[in-house]
A and B are shown apart, each in its own frame.
Chain A
Amino acid sequence: MLRYLLRRVLYAVPVLLGVSLATFILFYGIFPPEQIARRNLSAKNPTSQQIQEWLVAHDYNHPLPQQFKKHMTELMLLRFGRSDSTGEEIWTRIKTGAGPSTIIAGLVFTASLATRLFFALWSAYFRATYVDTWITLVSVFLMSVVYIVLVIAGQYLMGKVLRLFPLAGYQSGWTAFRFAVLPVIIGVISGLGGGTRLFRTFMLEEMNQDYVRTARAKGVPESRILFVHVLKNAAIPIITSTVLAIPALMLGSLVLESFFGIPGLGSYTVDAINAQDFAVVRAMVFLGTLLYIAGAILTDVCYALADPRIRLE
């Protein structure tokens, strides 16, 4: 197990190198620092003097090879430097933003998994009846709604019309949950359609396997077949699909946090986009990749725990 983990982490190194190379090409090759300076400087037609000063101030004034070395080593050592627009240390913002983001994303993730599983099991148990038909139909409808519309309409309906939750804002401590409820509900609903449908497909696929026929021939009750035999096998593709949910989770935190004014990493990124803050976006891309890779490794471990055919060696 430990050896497996070590190997997976080692495998991640070339991928991370590739990612930082890709960001280098994007941020230095395609879009050189002079352009960044131009966009960041408030003056409409900055002189070359001003640009040079800005480059020196933000440590961009190196020839390309040196810049490359600096970029690669700093990213790999997780030294993200300072923000282009505010000059603030990026790590300090990451530290303050991590808390709220973890709460929102963690709640959305667990609540999503639970609701999807619930509806998918419901659908599979009542397969080929009107319950199943309705769940499938509603799922397709939900899948077709734009995320943003859901957020806007959800806030309007639950916050403004029904006055159930605070419209936006955030406080640390236990009151955080009061502010988290609305974004979390909307986050869960947004992924419910696609998730339920996917999980339902996994379960129905398992329902058609030979071992289900064996269980029926043994006289195992239908409910036990679904909850023991099928669920245990469907868990394998379900776990795999949760890796795919990680990017969606990040998208969710971007939109939800900025919309509901939650001071997490998502809001930070959206602010950086608006401020044309390339240093922050670069750091966020790398951090997001790290999280994704960590999630993928974690998923593989869960996968091996769920499937006895896979051994971690």
Chain B
Amino acid sequence: MLDWLSNLFPVLVVVVGFWSVRRALRQPLWAEAWRRLKANRLALIALSVIGVYALVGFCDSIAWRNDKNANSLSLIDRAFSRPAEPTYSAPLANKTFGEPTPRALQGRHLLGTDGTGQDVVYLTLKGCRTALIIGGFTLLIATPLALLLGMLAGYFGKRVDDAVQYTYTVLDSIPNILLLIAMLLVLGRGLPQLCVALGITSWVGLCRLARGETLKHREREYVRAARALGISHGRILMHHILPNLLPIIVISVTLGFSGLVLSEAILSYLQLGVAAGTGSWGNMIDASRLELARDPVIWWNLAAASAALFILVLAFNLFGDALRDAIDPRLNS
């Protein structure tokens, strides 16, 4: 029963995602943006890279158990999991690494194994889902909150604005990293805790943006015309202002995604990341800190995790930039 539910969720995310993109593409602004994106080869490559990561993350989310007592295994577990070796081994080596008397391995590993003998390729693939959940769920928490408060503050002004501005000024004057440390120290390590903490620190920027844009649009003549027609405030906010904010919000969310994925690595370094058992690039990088100090060095662990992280973040950065160029800001006015 629980398996069924937990598998439904990723499917739902994908379906809703596809549905909203298809709906958006019917609007001329997004259709035009897509037409421009399609002409940009770099953007397409970046998008397909993101797609590959998303696919890995999706496969890792579809899991079931073979019998009642076993742990549930995801598609990635089933395809890439290897029996553990005794300890480190170099890429494609047949013996363990760094021991006075190297032992034979049970199999060959494309990127070697880490200190506990786990296959590095498998670990890297497992990190995908964690990164995507951190980015995705954090934004899922932060964006609606930021939009709601920002738009209300910008539109109604006065007391509402004062309250919202005070809240985010207070939050914003605590340097992000210190606030994260404080919250994670209290909440403890874990994926959900991380998403909540990152959500609380990252909604402020979006909220400020939404407030500023709403303030601008509130004074625009089309909003005044709507008010002159007697259209209600709620409808003006939802049907008139929100669609006009969406492009800028989408751009900033896309560019914000990579920042969130990067902060996971830093928090792992501070021992505040996801729990040690959960596969994450941050944990892999943190574990490899001392490996470079050994002689001969163990580089594959660090290289695999940081390359996986680098490529995803680069893809998001490039795609975000392309998206910003594709959504012509001149169309907004």
A binds B: yes
Query: What is the interface of chain A, defined by CB distance below 8 A to chain B?
Result: 14-15, 18-19, 22-23, 26-27, 30-31, 140-141, 143-149, 152-153, 155-156, 160, 246-247, 250-251, 254-255, 269-270, 273-274, 276, 278, 281-282, 284-285, 288-289, 291-293, 296
Q: Please list 7 pairs of residues, one from A and one from B, whose beta carbons are closer than 8 Å in the complex, sorted by A's number.
A: A15-B169, A19-B174, A144-B314, A149-B306, A153-B292, A251-B266, A269-B178
> Once bound together, how far apart are the Cα atoms of A143 and B169, in whole Å?
27
1/0 contact string of B282-313 vs chain A (CB within 8 Å): 10011011001100010000100010011001
**A148 and B265 form a contact (CB under 8 A):** yes
B214 interface residue, CB < 8 Å from A? no
- How far is it, in angstroms, between the C-alpha of A281 and the C-alpha of B317 when the chains are bound? 33
Contacts of B183 in A (CB 8 A): 26
Select the stretch in B133-141, B232-240, B268-276 that faces chain A: B268-276
Q: Which of A144, A250, A292 contacts B173 (CB 8 A)?
A: A292
- Whole-angstrom distance between the alpha carbons of A291 and B174 in the complex? 9
With a CB–CB cut-off of 8 A, which chain B residues contact A26?
182-183, 186
- Give the residue among A26, A146, A281, A291 with the most B Cβ atoms within 10 A: A146
CA gap between A19 and B172 in the complex, in Å: 10
The 8 Å CB contact of B174, one of A22, A148, A276, is A22
B272–A273 contact, CB under 8 A?
A: yes
A288 vs B174: C-alpha distance when bound (angstroms): 7
Enumerate chain A residues within 8 angstroms of B182, measured Cβ to Cβ. Answer: 23, 26-27, 281-282, 285
- Residue from A22, A247, A273, A276 within 8 A of B270 (CB atoms): A273
**With A18-B166, A30-B186 as given contacts, are A149 and B285 in contact (CB-CB < 8 Å)?**
yes
Residue B262 is within 8 A (CB to CB) of chain A in the complex: yes
Q: Which of B89-139 contact A (CB under 8 A)?
A: none
Query: Do B306 and A254 touch (CB < 8 A)?
Result: no
Question: Are B174's CB and A144's CB within 8 A?
Answer: no
Which chain A residues lie closer than 8 Å to B306 at the CB level?
145-146, 149
| B277 within 8 A of partner (CB) | no
Cβ B314 vs Cβ A140 within 8 A: yes
Return chain A residues, CB-CB under 8 Å to B169.
15, 18
Q: Using C-beta atoms within 8 Å of the partner chain, give the interface range for chain B.
A: 35 or more
Given that A146-B262, A285-B179 are known contacts, is A270 also in contact with B173, CB under 8 Å in the complex? no
Of the candidates B170, B258, B292, B302, the one whose C-beta lies within 8 Å of that of A18 is B170
Q: Are A285 and B309 in contact (CB under 8 A)?
A: no
User: Contact partner of A278 among B185, B266, B269, B314, CB < 8 A?
Assistant: B185
What distance in Å separates the Cβ of A266 from its nearest Cβ neighbour in chain B? 10
B278: chain A residues at CB < 8 Å are none
**List of B residues within 8 angstroms of A18 by Cβ:** 166, 169-170
User: Are B174's CB and A145's CB within 8 A?
Assistant: no
User: B142-199: which residues lie under 8 A (CB-CB) from chain A?
Assistant: 166, 169-171, 173-179, 181-183, 185-187
**B321 in contact (CB, < 8 A):** yes
Is the beta-carbon distance between B173 and A289 smaller than 8 angstroms?
yes
Q: Determine if B318 is an interface residue (Cβ-Cβ < 8 Å).
A: yes
* A289 vs B171: C-alpha distance when bound (angstroms): 10
- Contact check, B292 vs A152: say whether CB atoms are below 8 A apart: yes
The closest CB in chain B to the CB of A251 belongs to B177
**Whole-angstrom CA separation of A31 from B182 in the bound complex:** 11
In the complex, the answer to whether B175 meets A250 with C-beta atoms within 8 Å is: yes
For the residues of B in contact with A, the DSSP-based class is helix
C-alpha gap A246/B176 in the complex (Å): 10
Min Cβ gap A7→B in Å is: 15
Q: Which residue of B lies closest to A254 (CB)?
A: B177
Given A146-B265, A160-B292, answer yes or no on A269-B185 (Cβ-Cβ < 8 Å). Answer: no
CB <8 Å contact, B185 and A273: yes
Shortest distance between the CB of B291 and any CB in chain A (Å): 9
Q: Which residues of A contact B272 (CB under 8 A)?
A: 273
Q: Contact mask B241-262 → A, CB, 8 Å, 1/0?
A: 0000000000000000010001
Q: Which of B174, B271, B292 contacts A292 (CB 8 A)?
A: B174
Are the CB atoms of B321 and A144 closer together than 8 Å? no
The answer on a CB contact under 8 Å between B178 and A22 is: no
Min CB distance A258 to B, Å, is 8
Residues on A with C-beta less than 8 A from B258 are 143-144
Which residues of chain A have C-beta atoms less than 8 A from B317's C-beta?
A: 140, 143-144
Residues in A whose Cβ lies below 8 Å from that of B174? 19, 22, 285, 288-289, 292
Q: Which chain A positions have C-beta within 8 A of B318?
A: 140
Q: Closest chain A residue to B183 by CB distance? A: A26
Choose from A14, A152, A160, A292 the contact partner of B289 (Cβ within 8 Å).
A152
**In the complex, what distance in Å separates the CA atom of A140 from the CA atom of B319?**
11
Known pairs A14-B166, A15-B169, A247-B177 / 6 extra A-B pairs, C-beta < 8 Å? A19-B173, A148-B286, A149-B285, A149-B310, A281-B185, A289-B178
Q: What residues on A are CB-neighbors of B170 within 8 Å?
A: 15, 18-19, 22
Ordered nearest first, which 8 A-B pairs have the shortest CB separation?
A18-B170, A247-B175, A144-B314, A149-B306, A144-B313, A31-B186, A251-B177, A288-B178
Do B321 and A140 have beta carbons less than 8 Å apart?
Answer: yes
A146 contacts B292, C-beta separation under 8 Å: no
Residues of A within 8 A of B313 (CB): 143-144, 146
Across-interface contacts of A255 in B (CB, < 8 A): 266, 269-270
* CB contact list, B191-250 vs A, under 8 A: none
Pick the most buried of A152, A156, A255: most chain B CB atoms within 10 A of its CB: A152
Nearest B residue to A274, CB-CB: B271
Cβ–Cβ < 8 Å partners of A155 in chain B: 292
A residues in contact with B269, CB < 8 Å:
148, 255
